[in-house]
Structure 1
Amino acid sequence: MRPARPRDAAALAALSAPFVRSGALRARPFQVYAWHATDFLVAEAPDGTLDGCLALRVHPEPTHDGRVTGVLYNFCVSHGRQGSGLGAQLLTAALTEGRSRAVDTLFTATTGSGRLFLHHGFTQVSPRLAPETWARSLDPRRGAKVLARVL
């Protein structure tokens, strides 16, 4: 596990592409990976390819009561590593990173079951509780559930 670097942008986009095609991830322009590469934690294989990634962005606007929120996004694990525990390791690392950055609550959205998030203490919440600009960016046609966890 390591923080991604700007030079990882192409590998992040390539790792994400099959999940975008399947509808599991929403499409993001390459520039998002290039401009926000440092949001990502990555799991790197011995040959240097990326086996998984998860991005954490601390939201710039505090809540009305001053709490700091973060958003987890673009979570994917290569098909060859699914079921190996790598996703749980990435999520645990992101929770640790959130705590180290004084995040009070982490949010994410998923079109899947959210089982891994639920297993790690997330609960389904109303999108109204999430950072407003992020919640507005969710495409209602995708039917994503918003999940949150207090750190």
Structure 2
Amino acid sequence: MHEGIAIRHARPEDMERVSSLSAPFVEAGQLVDRSLAQLGKAVDEFIVASHGGRLVGCAGTVPAGKSLLVYNLCIATEWQGRGVGRRLVEVAMGVGRSQGYRSVLAVSRYGGEWFEGLGFSRVIPSETRKEWRSLFRPGRNSGLYQLNLAAEHGKGPK
């Protein structure tokens, strides 16, 4: 992990940069397109990574039943491979634990192996809970990945 990376909750003035960070991934079909207005309404769901006052990564978190969903995870190209994404997901895991969620979820078209490297397991489509089915966008062919927090730390359900 690169020294000097700060992780914090997003502020309204960050959302334009979150939109800019997301744009190349949206264009590549890796992220769902969200307008600046949509991102602005979701500011309280986002955590950001910054270095020297510049945002270099972001992730949204939102409840999904008894799980916490990580979405819109993206890292500036020049910062990829330096542990920024891992750090954002670890913060999301901490939020999930502190708020009593059973698991952390991620929906991804391309990052399955990366999430598996963090301890997530792919959820078999036939075993997808009804409450999670709404997470999928038709035609995206995304996979659902889950990290069980309850089993990991012996905690009960939320």
Q: What TM-score comes out, normalization by structure 2 length? A: 0.82
Q: Which runs of 5+ in 1 are unaligned?
A: 63-67
Write the distance in 2 (CA, Å) between the matches of 1:147 and 1:75.
14
**Structure 1 moving runs of 4+ over 4 Å:** none
Change (3 A) 1:137 1:107: closer
Matched, 1:52 2:61: no
Separation in 2, partners of 1:45, 1:150? 31
Contact residue 107 and residue 135 of structure 2 kept, 8 A: no
SS in 2 for 1:109: strand
Letter in 2 for 1:109: V
What count of residue pairs does the alignment treat as equivalent? 142
What's 1:129 paired with? Answer: 128
Question: Shift of residue 129 of structure 1?
Answer: 3.0
Residues 105 and 146 in structure 2, CA contact (< 8 A), matched pair in contact too: yes
Partner of 1:17: 23
1:34 equivalent to 2:40? Answer yes
Decide which of 67, 87, 90 is 1:69's aligned counterpart.
Answer: 67
Q: Answer yes or no: is the 8 Å Cα contact 1:56–1:98 preserved in 2.
A: no
Cα distance, 1:135 vs structure 2: 2.5
Q: Which amino acid aligns with 1:140?
A: P
What TM-score results when the alignment is normalised by the length of structure 1? 0.85
Structure-2 change in CA distance of 1:55 and 1:103 (3 Å): same
Q: Give the Å deviation of 1:137.
A: 4.6
Q: CA deviation at 1:130?
A: 4.4
Separation in 2, partners of 1:15, 1:131: 32
**Does the 8 Å CA contact 2:102/2:148 hold for their aligned counterparts?**
yes
